[in-house]
Amino acid sequence: MPWVSITLEVDPAAADALSDALLEGGAQSVSLQGGTLCALVHPAADAGALVAGAARVLGIAAPPIALQAVQDEDWVRVTQAQFAPLPIGRRLWIGASWHDAPAERAAVRIDPGLAFGTGSHPSTRLALQYLEREIRGGERVLDYGCGSGILAIAAARLGATLVEAADLDPQAVETTIANAQANQVAVKAALPHMLAPAHYDIVVSNILSQTLIVLEPLLAARAVRGGRIALSGILESQAAEVCAAYAAHFDAVVGATEEGWALVEGTRR
């Protein structure tokens, strides 16, 4: 049965975020060239509803779409071609199951699927770069809003001795557990209310700025004094507001930026 290709024109500023929202909504793969975005979906999927839902998450109007059938034998090849391996710093490598990993790097394999986080979005890359810089071995790490589990798995690969993850979406928790098993690392993932009481040396969260602001008391309570926090999913224009929200408990600053996105980092007082 043919798969369906969705083609739409998007504002380049929103293209990466819309790509990830489509993947999170169930698209099998997404490719972007200029302002043209193409997504592959199962033939039984409601393409219009998928695009409308992704646009609603971002707070933008749903763009017009064009649909085309893609034969079964083509879609896997197309999907695999759209995800290139991603080196992070000097020590970390992100790729899919069909890529060959370099032996000298800590490898994290994440196939595109239903949960956010393949390393393709700048907000995820910023968080991965932070972990690659900061983890030296032996840390206790919490990934709050884990999505695919990519940050938690990267932390484990880089030498953290205790890694826990939480997400409000049960599908994300299941995906994180499955991805951790596939990467042969120990990551405990659960819904937030099921997390055991614990404090962490590093708390990382890649969500959205307004959600991060609301979560400040919870995340601050999870960080040990002298521990570190890294917050991503923040537009550069929102970074000052997030820093101000975390100033009560952290020396929070903008640590890095990429393509209009910012990473806020700080140390727990």
Query: Residue 76's pLDDT is what?
Result: 52
170 and 248 share a domain?
Answer: yes
Question: How far apart (Å, rounded) are the C-alpha atoms in residues 36 and 38?
Answer: 7
Rounded to whole angstroms, what are the CA distances from 56 to 23, 25, 52, 123, 211? 14, 11, 6, 19, 16
Its pTM stands at: 0.75
Residue 96 covered by a domain: no
* Mean pLDDT of the 83-91 span: 89
248 and 127 share a domain?
Answer: yes
**Neighbour count for residue 1 (Cβ, 10 Å):** 8
Number of compact structural domains in the chain: 2
pLDDT in tens, 225-255: 999 999 998 989 999 999 999 999 999 999 9
Range of lowest pLDDT (113-117, 185-189, 220-224) = 113-117
Residue 101 covered by a domain: no
The single-letter code of the amino acid at 144 is Y
Decide: 182 and 108 in contact? Cβ < 8 Å. no
Question: How far apart (Å, rounded) are the C-alpha atoms in residues 81 and 160?
Answer: 32
Q: In the 8-state DSSP scheme, what is residue 87?
A: E
Question: How far apart (Å, rounded) are the C-alpha atoms in residues 108 and 154?
Answer: 6
Query: Residue 212's pLDDT is what?
Result: 95
Residue 97 covered by a domain: no
User: Does pLDDT of 115 surpass 50?
Assistant: no
pLDDT category at 114 given cuts 50, 70, 90 is very low
Residue 136 covered by a domain: yes
Q: Provide the CATH number for the domain around residue 201.
A: 3.40.50.150
62 and 155 share a domain?
Answer: no
The single-letter code of the amino acid at 130 is Y
Residue 89 covered by a domain: no
Decide: 151 and 204 in contact? Cβ < 8 Å. yes
Residue 92 covered by a domain: no
Percent of the chain having pLDDT more than 70? 90
The single-letter code of the amino acid at 125 is R
Q: Provide the CATH number for the domain around residue 20.
A: 3.30.70.1170
Question: How far apart (Å, rounded) are the C-alpha atoms in residues 43 and 3?
Answer: 5
Helix, strand, coil % over all residues of the chain, rounded to 5: 35, 30, 35
Question: How far apart (Å, rounded) are the C-alpha atoms in residues 20 and 27?
Answer: 9
**Who has greater pLDDT, 6 or 27?**
6
232 and 157 share a domain?
Answer: yes
pLDDT in tens, 15-66: 778 887 887 788 877 776 667 888 888 888 899 999 999 988 888 889 999 9
44 and 127 share a domain?
Answer: no
237 and 179 share a domain?
Answer: yes
Beta bridge mates, 162: 140
Query: Residue 19's pLDDT is what?
Result: 81
Highest mean pLDDT among 66-70, 77-81, 95-99, 127-131: 127-131
Beta bridge mates, 93: 87, 107
pLDDT in tens, 219-228: 999 999 999 9
Range of lowest pLDDT (19-23, 181-185, 187-191, 193-197) = 19-23
Query: Residue 34's pLDDT is what?
Result: 63
Q: What DSSP string runs through 200-251?
A: EEEEEEES-HHHHHHTHHHHHHHEEEEEEEEEEEEEGGGHHHHHHHHTTTB-
Question: How far apart (Å, rounded) are the C-alpha atoms in residues 44 and 4?
Answer: 9
**What's the chain's average pLDDT?**
89
pLDDT category at 211 given cuts 50, 70, 90 is very high
Beta bridge mates, 6: 39, 67
pLDDT category at 80 given cuts 50, 70, 90 is low
160-183 burial: b if 16+ Cβ within 10 Å, else e: bebbbbbbebeebbebbbbbbeeb
Domain boundaries, position 74: 3-81
